[in-house]
Chain A
Amino acid sequence: MSISIQSIRKTFGSYTALEDISLEIPNGSLTALLGPSGSGKTTLLRIVAGLEFADPGSGKILFHGEDVSEISTGKRGVGFVFQHYALFRHMTVAENIAFGLSVLPSGKRPSKHEIRDRVKELLGLVKLEGLDKRRPHELSGGQRQRVALARALAIRPKVLLLDEPFGALDAQVRKDLRRWLRQFHDEIGLTTIFVTHDQEEALELADEVVVMRNARIEQIGSPQAVYDTPRSPFVYEFLGNVNKLTDTSGSHQYIRPHEVEIRFAAECDPSTDELGTIQHLFSAGPVASLSIRLDNGSFLDVEISRKILDEMCLDQKDRIAVKVRS
């Protein structure tokens, strides 16, 4: 189901959360809304879900060409997963997952038997077989989040919306669940939007990244495109580490740590290089990162492979030349 967001505006009192947002999300894609807190990404997701309504007269939300702007959240057919899971703690895992089916009007409600089968199927899908009788407090964070996902999927939603789905999890679980979600999405092909403030997460997981800032969309594109050709200094700085160099004329130049070339100070080419001193060197891992203090006073982060580091026999306090101009 494709989603079309057409010039949506949202204000809370005098605060503008979204300023004329338009966005097309193709059927079956996995889209990340990426931005710092206060950028409006969660508000946009909530408007798509019908948990929040856009300002009257501002714009429309279409699901597969059909205007759903005025339809209540329960009738939109969206699966929504909250950052803090929002599981019903007085119900078992199975009851949580079955909730959306059990509240259907009696004519449409599946039989008890059918609900049980569906719950079982979903538990298998999220790899939580056998945990149906547990209660939420007996589960780990990652398990809870998967129960929340199964609960959202039980109603066979047309779109899946995830609000900071990994925000409350530890780094390792986060990584595992992220990879699992990507694989899961590829299997079921449900149009999915997720909100995150973690650029690494957005770049690794999404087909398309929507970078937001101050109630506006800053850039839309594939992870590769937004990373390689950022359209604004903001996107440049927000997507991964970047060095900001100011030259004598006062204009800024951006260079990513891994793009910086280094050579011995003796080989310095003054037309393109700056001289500096290695202040700090960190090499536990496949990539070594160096913090270099240039002679003009600015700092530069540099990432080079361990191989190069070993070949050059670099150490702290060594003088070095850095290529900063092409």
Chain B
Amino acid sequence: MSKRRVIPGFGMSLGFSITWLSLIILIPLAALFIKAAGLGWEEWRELLGSPQVIAAAKLTFGASAAAATVSAVLGLLVTWVLVRYEFPGRRLLDAMIDLPFALPTAVAGITLCAIYAPNGWLGEILASLGIQAAYNWLGVFIALTFIGFPFVVRTLQPVMADMGKEIEEAAATLGAGRWTVFRRVVFPLLVPALITGFTLAFARAIGEYGSVIFISGNLPMKTEILPHLIIIQLEQYNYEAAAAIATGMLVVSFSLLFLINLLQRRIDWQNR
């Protein structure tokens, strides 16, 4: 760092950042990998290849992706309403978006379960329509949507608010209808933020435990999520196996998030 910089303290702040990152992220992760390495190769393959783990992985990643997608669509709509319209109760609605962040996830889980179970408020109505919304895939999906949705709103909101009316007006004077303006001008500009929101919701959903386990029912091979499998291993003092599943999860999650990031960079670069 022989080059002089205008902003002082680069060395110190970088040092701090790396120390801090190490303490709270890198060291725990390293410990996890070391623990997982206690298992032999065969044991690894057997554990991660077991039908129960594979079923749980499919459910976890599948339901997370579906929930994040739906969160992205709904989040876009809600953000639009929050940013574009003035209506009584707007601030209240705005504040309510953050509730899933603050609520203990177990509370959320029990509440969702109570509402969506076949004898619950909404569950009863859905059951009369022949839809079961708890103790199955749909229940997991509902819980993950609840958890992920605020991420999308909060990432989109500032971008949409900053966008201003002018480009939409410009498009309108050029003859574009409302839908065309949205499709060709507004939406493309929101895509990077939308992907960030999706990614955050997705990442959160993969690791989510508290709000899911009540509504899912945790039926092995059916409604069991990966974090729950880890807990089961922990309860049996099977620390290596728990660490191994966690490591597998991390590797897959990291690869997916990394891919999404690459995609976003590409779009961002085009959009600049």
Contacts and interface: CB of A to CB of B under 8 A. Distances in A.
> Quick one: which of B169, B170, B172 has the most chain A CB within 10 A?
B170
Contacts of B169: 51, 73, 80, 82, 86
Interface in A91-149: 99-100, 103-104, 135, 137, 148
Given A82-B166, A89-B271, A74 B189 contact: no
B173 interface: yes
Contacts of B185: 88
Given A88-B185, A90-B189, A135-B272, A74 B166 contact: no
A79 interface: yes
A104 B173 contact: no
A103 B175 contact: yes
Contact of A90 (B173, B175, B188): B188
Interface string B161-188: 0000011011111111100100011001
A10 interface: no
Chain A interface size range: 20 to 34
A155 B171 CA distance: 12
Contacts of B236: none
Interface in B240-272: 270-272
Contact of B166 (A84, A90, A103, A137): A84
A22 B130 CA distance: 66
A99 B177 CA distance: 12
Contact of A137 (B170, B172, B272): B272
Given A89-B189, A90-B188, A90-B189, A78 B271 contact: no
A127 to B, nearest CB: 21
A209 interface: no
* 5 nearest CB pairs, A to B: A100-B174, A86-B166, A86-B170, A74-B175, A80-B173
29 contacts: A49-B173, A50-B173, A72-B172, A73-B172, A73-B173, A74-B172, A75-B175, A79-B173, A80-B169, A80-B170, A82-B169, A86-B167, A86-B169, A86-B170, A87-B170, A88-B167, A88-B171, A89-B189, A89-B271, A89-B272, A90-B188, A90-B189, A99-B176, A100-B174, A103-B175, A104-B175, A135-B272, A151-B174, A154-B174
